[in-house]
Structure 1
Amino acid sequence: MKKSLAVILSGAMLMLAACGGGSNQASGDKKEKMVKIGITQIVEHPSLDATREGFIAALKDAGYEEGKNLKLDYQNAQGDMNNNASIAQKLVSDKNDLILAIATPSAQAAVQATKDIPILFSAITDPVSAELVQSLEKPGGNVTGTSDTHPDAIKNTIAAIKKFIPDAKKVGIIYNNGEPNSVINVKNAKEAIKEAGLEAVETTISTSSEVKQAAESMVGRVDVLYIPKDNTVVAALESVIAVANDKDIPVFSGDGDSVKRGTFASYGFDYHDLGYTTGKMAVEILKGKKPSEIPVGFPENLELIVNKNAAKEEGITLTEDLLKDAKIVGE
């Protein structure tokens, strides 16, 4: 009888242990999956950094928090194309769930590296010409994202040159002709400059270390400078601003963040918002939507941004009428 009781008790304990193990297993099954996202960025400057920060903010707002259920691998190529290609290959070999590519060279390298992992791009001038997507409405493949080209931005900024500097005749443009996005931006800027009855004067660079010398070469040859959305030049923007302030040359730029850094004016938008829009696309993809089903996005809001301190440094006289409806920074 005692032996039978011992057997019964032993069997009951085994059943309890089994039930306990099943409970732990079920609990383990409910553990949230860690999402891995690789981020590749061609170079550091405020517009691209703000894009990245906006992207991460959108993920956080959707419940994806780094260290909890999200692992981010941020890589910066520092403007080096060999690094850029290596970073893309690394993010693919690490089997990330999604790749964010910020700026055209980073996006092109990522697209060349994989057709299997979803890729989102942001801060891209022309995704179709860069051969990232088949069309803006139907991207196709494993790629989509957001462009930073508002259709009226360049035209309005060039028109602002005539508005603020009515005697201007020659517009200097500094850019890296090795950046596909810059070539497109400069082409559009030259068309707008010609339509405004102005003359474009170009100088090209290949590295950020050449930017200051390029700016100095414009002194005496141009009335104003226009800095397009060029990652190489914008990374060394302070070099341009120093020359412009010293020689009283007004500087107009292709993005609003450059105005905050010291250029005089631009028609721009908030790159953080652009990144946030891209982050919302990422959430859709992580929940099962295909990149090919998401049209390319664009900035929605465009506003005139003017830096009052830059106006003072660059010898520009401002009036209330000129500043009507402008967003003022640098006060």
Structure 2
Amino acid sequence: MHKKFRIRFGFSCSDNRKSKTCPELCRRIENLKWGGIFAIALTFAFGGVAAHAQQRPKVARIGILRVDGSTSPAAMEAINDLKRGLRNLGYVEGQNINFEIRLAENKLERLPTLAAELVQLKLDAIVTGGPQATKATKEATNTIPIVMGRMDDVVEHGLVTSLARPGGNVTGLSFQTGELSGKWLDLLKEALPKLTRVAALWDTTGTAGQLRTVEAAARSMGLHLAVSKVAGLKDFDFVFDGIRKERMEGLIILASPVFTGQRERLAELAAKHNLPAIYYHEGFAQAGGLLAYGPKQSEFSWHRAAIFVDKILKGAKPADLPVEQPTKFDFIINLKTAKQIGVTIPPNVLARADRVIR
């Protein structure tokens, strides 16, 4: 009485083996099945590539701008120090960081053009050497972070609002020559007790604060001070001839990135004219200068600028990063030069030296 109904879901090629259309239909279904599998595989494959591309770390791009040139030991030393500092922080050149380097070859008029080139590259940060390079970069951009590799008197140069809170887009390392220049004269006088006439070599693009301090110190010590102004490299020979003609007995080289880049030449000229000189950077003593007093190079050089770059790459703002100042200073005496120019350094002064080059 009751009829049974059987409902079948799906389809099997065995349902109607005698049908002519069955094999063709089966083939179509099989093709659709494999096509779907292939599409899913492609989705996973390309999805994986896309995910890998998204996970690939960004390559940081850092600019470097300096006054000096590729033949300057100071330039190569600074750039290598920066790269070493960044390597220590996990940055490997060619993998997760690259550099764009511009050197003015001691031609200050080239700095604005070189700074503009770097700004157009839309870099993550620009590391600068000296106030001239920093000023040129700051005038070219107020958005790209600028890190001072090591320079003098950043506040007096008007590059930051204060050392504690720089404001703007500039931060980095700076030492205050106004506090050091009096010390340079003190040490020179102690090394040359009979000193009465002293010259100061001053780069006119540098700060006047260090000059004012050394002038005040000379007056208080009863010394005759003659200031020799330098506006370019071509002035060096002429200036040294004048210093010797005026019978100067000693020389202070005031801080300048132009002078730093020419430390071998300046040390050579001082020795040539038998002028006992004191410098602000230990590199001068290593190059043949008699005396050097300044921030300890191993703790206050471009490798420290790497820390600022790292913080900026991780999201910090230059305006909120206090300018770093040196806390340790080295006094270096080159006895080889002393012997060459006929100067005897008093034993009490030798005892105060952090390093003696023999």
Normalising by the residue count of structure 1, what TM-score does the alignment of the two structures yield?
Answer: 0.92
Q: Which has the larger radius of gyration?
A: 2
Structure 1 contact 265–304 (Cα < 8 Å) conserved: yes
1:35 paired with 2:35, answer no
Instruction: Give yes or no for contact 1:174–1:233 (8 Å, CA) kept in 2.
Output: no
Q: Which residue of 1 aligns with 2:210?
A: 185
Gap change, CA 1:138 and 1:60, over 3 Å in 2: same
Q: 1:298 to 1:53 in 2, by over 3 A?
A: farther
Q: CA separation in 2, counterparts of 1:12 and 1:241?
A: 77
C-alpha change, 1:226 and 1:314, in structure 2 (3 Å) is same
Compare 224-233 and 250-259 and name the one that shifted more: 224-233
Number of positions where the alignment pairs a residue of Structure 1 with one of Structure 2: 329
Distance 1:86-1:329 versus aligned 2 partners, 3 A rule: farther
Q: By how many angstroms is 1:25 displaced?
A: 1.1
Match of 2:301 among 271, 274, 277: 274
Match of 1:256 in 2: 282
Q: 1:208 aligns with which of 202, 225, 233?
A: 233
C-alpha separation in 1, matches of 2:279 and 2:169: 33
Work out which of the residue numbers 241, 245, 270 in structure 1 matches 2:267.
Answer: 241
Choose which of 22, 29, 37 in structure 2 pairs with 1:12: 37
Please say which of residues 148-157 and 256-265 is displaced more in the overlay: 148-157
5+ unaligned residues in a row in structure 1: which ranges?
A: none
Structure 1 residue 326, shift from structure 2 partner: 1.2
Alpha-carbon spacing, 1:264–1:153, altered in 2? closer, same or farther (3 Å): same
Question: 1:247-326, aligned counterparts within 5 Å?
Answer: 247-271=273-297, 273-326=300-353
Deviation at 1:330, TM superposition (A): 3.4
Deviation at 1:48, TM superposition (A): 5.0
Q: Aligned partners of 2:173, 2:260: CA distance in 1, in Å?
A: 20
| Residue in structure 1 matching 2:83, options 56, 59, 69 | 56
Letter in 2 for 1:253: Y
Query: Distance in 2 between the 1:52 and 1:185 partners?
Result: 27
Which AA in structure 1 matches 2:190?
K
Deviation at 1:71, TM superposition (A): 1.2
SS in structure 2 at match of 1:322: helix
Instruction: Quote the Cα distance in structure 2 between the aligned partners of 1:169 and 1:325.
Output: 22
Report the aligned-residue RMSD: 2.0
The answer for the alignment partner of 1:100 in structure 2 is 127
Q: 1:57 to 1:319 in 2, by over 3 A?
A: same
Task: State the distance in 1 between where 2:191 and 2:209 align.
Answer: 25
Query: Offset at 1:132?
Result: 0.8
In structure 2, C-alpha distance between the alignment counterparts of 1:240 and 1:120, rounded to whole Å: 28
Q: TM-score, normalised by structure 2?
A: 0.86
Q: Which portions of structure 1, spanning 4 or more consecutive aligned residues, are displaced by more than 6 angstroms?
A: none
- Structure 1 residues 81 and 247: alpha-carbon distance in aligned structure 2, compared to 1, 3 A threshold: closer
- Report SS of the residue matched to 1:229: coil
- TM-superposed CA distance for 1:49, in Å, is 4.3
Task: Give the share of equivalent positions with the same residue, in percent.
Answer: 22
Q: Which shifted more, 23-32 or 193-202?
A: 193-202
Residues 255 and 269, structure 1, Cα contact 8 Å, conserved in 2: yes
Compare 107-116 and 321-330 and name the one that shifted more: 321-330
